[in-house]
Amino acid sequence: MIRVLIADDQAMVRQGFGALLAAQPDLLVVGDAADGAQAVAAARQLDPDVVLMDVRMPVLDGLAATRKLLGDRPAQRPRVLILTTFDLDDYVYEALRAGASGFLLKDAPAADLVHAVRVVAAGDALLAPAVTRRLIAEFAARPERRRPRPTELAALTARETDVLRLIARGRSNQEIAADLVVAEQTVKTHVGRILAKLHLRDRAQAVVLAYETGLVAAGE
């Protein structure tokens, strides 16, 4: 059973998402919160697997709440799924850096919401191509800074480095397998080893690291 906490300052959104998720046999809504501070407190008390986190909330916004919640929790739980709209593109990069595992449009179809919760709960990241393109554009707009690659990257094999580059370009495991002419299961194995070697939570953090270290440059 996947335990879900819903954080949004609009009661109708909380109720609507809650009813939809509660109707799924494998999902359990353990609570909700009307602001970021409540979300942090509720997550610590209720121990959800996934927190649906709105960005614009009073007291503490979704980004600050994500940082506070994940910054002092070394364990893998909870996973944070940011609720966003396309006019909040500025938040994408900072949310990933804060440890969010993915993004969901607030007007997304019901099936997408259910799928997103399951994907994030399984330990994967939910980075839609549109979000990845905006992330790349964010890096492209920043002044280029030459940074030495961290020693951790030296631990990657040549093939793992190739896989990390493709992850950063928004490729799915299936697409990476096709690009490298290997089995999809082989790609999954490479991804798991990359995350372990670099001490990353998921693909979302891998994307950020690949760009921040200069392994991949925006526009490549």
Residues 173, 90 within the same domain: no
User: Does residue 114 sit in the same domain as residue 10?
Assistant: yes
- Residue 140 maps to a domain: no
Residue 65 lies in a domain: yes
Claim to verify: residue 119 and residue 180 sit in the same structural domain = no
pLDDT band at 55 (very low <50, low <70, confident <90, very high): confident
Where does a domain end: 94, 126, 158? Answer: 126
Identify the pLDDT of residue 100.
85
Tell me: do 97 and 204 sit in the same domain.
Answer: no
Domain presence at residue 174: yes
Asked if the structure places residue 188 within a domain, the reply is: yes
Nearest residue to 219 (alpha-carbon basis) of 168, 175, 173, 179:
168
Higher pLDDT, 212 or 141: 212
User: What whole-number percentage of the chain has pLDDT above 90?
Assistant: 45
Instruction: Kindly report the pTM of this predicted structure.
Output: 0.74
Q: Clarify whether residues 122 and 149 are in a common domain.
A: no
pLDDT score of 136? 60
The count of domains in the chain is 2
Look up tokens 């996934």; give the residue: 50
List the structure tokens of 112.
Answer: 């997408």
* CA dist 3 → 6, 51, 189, 217 (Å): 10, 9, 27, 38
pLDDT in tens, 65-81: 998 988 765 455 699 99
Angle, in degrees to the nearest 10, between helices 203-212 and 158-168: 100
The residue type found at 119 is: V
By the 8 A CB rule, do 30 and 46 touch?
Answer: yes
Q: Is residue 219 part of a domain?
A: no
Residue 47 clears pLDDT 80, i.e. is over it: yes
Give me the sheet containing 50-54, strands edge to edge.
27-33, 2-7, 50-54, 79-84, 102-105
CA distance readout (Å), 114 to 2, 195, 211: 11, 25, 30
Taking the C-alpha atoms of residue 35 and residue 53, their distance in angstroms, rounded to an integer, is 9
Query: Which residue in 105, 83, 122 sits closest to 203, CA to CA?
Result: 122
Q: Which of 63, 92, 126 is at the close of a domain?
A: 126
User: Which of 57-61, 81-85, 92-96, 144-148 bottoms out in mean pLDDT, i.e. has the lowest?
Assistant: 144-148
Do residues 53 and 81 touch, judged by C-beta distance below 8 A? yes
* Domain around 202: 145-212
Tell which residue, 193, 176, 158, 219, has the closest CA to residue 206: 193
Same domain, 22 and 122: yes
Are residues 158 and 82 part of one domain? no
- CATH code of the domain covering residue 108: 3.40.50.2300
Greater model confidence, 185 or 70:
185
Q: What is the CATH number of the domain that holds 177?
A: 1.10.10.10
pLDDT tens readout for residues 138-169: 665 665 555 556 677 889 999 999 999 998 88
Whether 218 is covered by a domain: the verdict is no
DSSP state of 153: G
In a domain, 35, yes or no: yes
